[in-house]
Amino acid sequence: MLSKDEVIEKNLFGVGTPHPEFENIIGDFVACAIDKTNLIYRDNDSVFKGYHGGLTEDERYVPVITFCK
């Protein structure tokens, strides 16, 4: 888990001039994988191959759930 400041300092989203809204949409923290483990939630057979992050307030407010393996 990295703070917004750490993400910016480490240039995790690249170098150069960021989009004017970058700091508003990145969130307070960014979770980064440390190995190949993942969790997938599926409640049906989706035709979509990927997922996106929305820009509405409801889509940007995400609870953090952690687990230890």
- Quote the tokens at residue 26: 């990145």
Contact (Cβ atoms closer than 8 angstroms) between residue 2 and residue 12: yes
The C-alpha angle 67, 34, 22, rounded to 5 degrees, equals: 95
Q: How far apart are CA 60 and CA 69, in angstroms?
A: 27
The set of residues, in sequence order, having a beta carbon less than 8 Å from that of 26 and lying 6+ positions away, is 4, 7, 13
Kindly report, residue by residue over 8-51, the tens digit of the pLDDT.
999 999 999 999 989 888 888 888 888 888 777 666 666 666 66
Q: What's the predicted TM-score (pTM) here?
A: 0.56
Sign of the C-alpha dihedral computed for residues 33, 34, 39 and 40 taken in this order: positive
